[in-house]
Each structure stands twice: as structure tokens, then as C-alpha cells.
Amino acid sequence: MKHSLKQSTRPTVENARKLYDMFMYSGLLQVLTDRHAYLTRLEHDLEKALSRAPEGTLRINRCKNTLQYYIRRSADENNGTYIPAKQKDLVLRLAQKAYNKKASALVSGEISAIERFLKNYPDTVIEDLYDTLSPARQTLVRPITETDEMFVQKWNDTPEAEGAGYDIISDLYTEKGEKVRSKSEVLIADLLYRHNIPYRYEHPLYLDGLGTVYPDFTILNIKRRKEYVWEHFGMMDDPDYAARAVEKINNYEMNGYFPGDNLILTFETADQPLNLKLIARITEKYLLQ
């Protein structure tokens, strides 16, 4: 399969930044490093298997509806020596040997390609240049691409919208000083706050088919520059509440918010409260990588 790059749109700073983020923050460099380690192990295993393979090569001949197998023990042999049916194991080993040789060549080629790429990829790219400048110089220039700090500041400067339209009657406050509706929301908010993950509480969002909703949290993954909605459903043992939750989740999906992509969902019942370890694992997977 041949790979090619086709320029379909005029490149812009914004598009370039998105491509860079996809490359760096999707973990592609780590994927390549892991792939190299896997291929290196595979190359070793193939070399070991080839060292134990029998001498010679396999020739297959079709005679009417029957396959006949021959072994060529030297390069100047044309037809080779017939392998009787009772030596089927020799046929299998020779076939595997031929396959392993081709596989070894492909593996070696891919290892070399990855090594060339990683060797030539620069330690500093244009998106990182501004951060390498001294503070004095940073005040004198305008970076070609927004730094993470600039991006977060712009995200945080989004005008505050009106809340959900009904008062929060609880006496629960987060470490950030916000009043929230449940102890589970306190757990989520405090963990986000401790990790310096930007978030908005009950920021309005319009969904076709449902109207304006107020997600528990709208969150920014700084590394990926990606926004997530986190909804916590805290009374799933209540049939009416659960039915409304399903309706809401379905509407999220119809509007392009999908669990595991840009929508985070957590649930609890009276017997199964929200687990802090689960919140930590979710935060690590979706918001810190």
C-alpha cells in the first residue's frame, strides 16, 4: 500500500497547529517508539526461528487436482527432490521458513524507516520555539502559534453564561469556591482543580431535539486542546431519573457528543456511589494525556 500526502486546502496557522496537536498529543511519537520495540523483538524471534529452519527451499507443483511438494537443497537445483506425504512436517517447516524470510525483510525495513524518522525529527519544532526564549524576549515577540497558556487564557475568557435557571440549594462548595449540587460533583471538581484542568460548571449548551442543557462540567484538555463534556448521573436507581438520563445521552450522541470521544459519563446509585479512584482514572485517560 503506497502512502501519499495530498494538499486539499490551503495551509493555515490554525490547521497547522491542529495537525501538530494530532501528531504530538495523539501519542504518535510514542506509538512509533512502541512499534520499534515490538518490531525489534519480532525481528529477534524471526532470526531465531530461521536459524532452526531446515536447509533448502520449497517448490509446489500442481498435478491435476493434487499438490506435490519438492525440496530444493541448492540454488542450482531446478525441480528439486520429491517430498513424500509422510514427510508433511518438512513441507510445513519449509513453507514457514519462506514466510518468515519475507516477514523478516519487511520487519527490518520498517525498523530502518522508523529509526530514520526518529533520528531526523527535530528536538524543537516551531510550536515550541516561543517557550525556548527568555522571558525578556518573549515580551518582545508575538508567537506564530498560540502557546498553551495563551490558548487556556482565551478559553477561560469565554463570557460566563447564566446558570441552569434554578438555584443550587445545597451547602456544598468545591476547593475552587464554587457551589455545586452534590458530593460527587465536589469530588470531580476538586480533582480537576488540583490538576489545574480548566473547567466550567453548568455552562449552557444547546442540543437539537432537547434545547439548552447545562452539563455538569465542560472541560478543556490542554495538551490536546480538546473540549469535553462530563455528565454525572447520580440517581440511576430511580426509574424516572434513569429514563431522562438515557434520553439526554441519546440527544448528546445525536448532536455529535460520543462517550469515549468528547463525552464523559459517570453513574451512581444509592448502593454504588461514585468512586474517587474511577474519577482519577477517567481524568488521567481523557484530560491529562
Domain residue spans of the chain = 13-126, 168-287
Share of the chain above pLDDT 90, in %: 70
Distances (CA, A) of 176 to 179, 201, 279: 9, 11, 18
Question: What is the CATH code for 168-287?
Answer: 3.40.1350
Whether the model pTM is above 0.75: no
Cα–Cα distance, 50 to 272 (Å, whole number): 55
The amino acid at 201: Y
- How many Cβ atoms are within 10 Å of 149's Cβ, its own excluded? 11
Residues contacting 252, CB < 8 A, separation 6+: 207, 229, 231, 258, 263
Q: How confident is the model at residue 8 (pLDDT cuts 50, 70, 90)?
A: very low
pLDDT at position 7 over 80: no
SS3 263: strand
pLDDT class of 107 with cuts at 50, 70, 90 = very high
C-alpha cell at 250: 441519546
What would the grid cell of residue 184 be? 460527587
Predicted confidence band at 67 (pLDDT cuts at 50, 70, 90)?
Answer: very high
- Confidence check: pLDDT of 196 > 60: yes
Q: What angle do CA 258, 260, 266 make, to 5 degrees?
A: 95
Closest CA to 229 of 191, 194, 257: 257
Q: Using the CB atoms, write b or e for 88-103: b if 16+ within 10 Å.
A: eebbebbebbeebeeb
